Amino acid sequence: MVETLLTSLLIPEVTFKGDALPSWLRQGARVYSQDQDLGVLGELQPEIAEKLDLEGPIFVFDLNFEALAGAVQAFPLFTPLPRYPGVYRDIALVLPETVPAARVAKRLYHHGSPLLVEAQLFDVYTGDPIPPGKRSLAFRLCYRDSERTLTDEIVNRKHEAVVKALKKELGAKLR
């Protein structure tokens, strides 16, 4: 819900970090836009939920209205529709749980540039056969060139370079 709200408000570069949470949250994350603290979200402490006569895990968010208003883009930026089709590849990487998905996405864009135009996280998995302390992050990648239609050869070469860089930088392994 929070991601949908922030997307609707055109809040740029949203990230979630599990640091400096208030005591009333059992677990959760701080919400940032370009390093500006927007608020928190997470699971309410069970003792507080019980005092309020609420059952089950309760998830809440607390966003700072003034910070949101300051982060909103006044007008959406217009981007013309692409002239050439995108080429899609899915990638599942096994990484330490301490590596934030936002950092992985940032590195994907860095190494995939200029052809990688979108990296969308669609799955986070822990459990068998993933070793303890690790998790699998799966991304859908879209490669596109504004000047020409990409061939499989070009995309495969770029994709392999991205994978190689993530293995070296983050210790990622393909799942």
Long-range contacts of range 83-86, CB-CB < 8 Å, 24 or more positions apart? 83/146, 84/144, 84/145, 84/146, 84/147, 84/148, 84/149, 84/150, 85/144, 85/149, 86/117, 86/118, 86/142, 86/143, 86/144
What is the predicted pLDDT for the residue at 137? Answer: 95
- pLDDT tens for each residue of 50-75: 999 998 899 999 999 999 888 887 66
Mean of the per-residue pLDDT values of the chain: 91
Structural contact between residues 22 and 40, judged by C-beta atoms closer than 8 angstroms: yes
pTM (2 d.p.): 0.67
pLDDT in tens, 82-103: 999 999 999 999 999 988 888 8
Q: DSSP of the chain, one letter per residue?
A: -HHHHHHHTT--SEEEE--S--TTEEEEEEEEETTEEEEEEEEEPHHHHHHTT--S--EEEEE-HHHHHHHS-SSPPP-PPPSS--EEEEEEEEEETTS-HHHHHHHHHHHHTTTEEEEEEEEEE-STTSPTTEEEEEEEEEE--SSSPPPHHHHHHHHHHHHHHHHHHH--EE-
Q: Which pLDDT does position 76 carry in this prediction?
A: 66
pLDDT(120) > 70: yes
**Full set of structural domains in the chain with CATH:** 2-71 (no CATH), 87-174 (3.30.70.380)
CA distance 119 to 138: 10
Q: Which two tokens stand for residue 128?
A: 């068998």
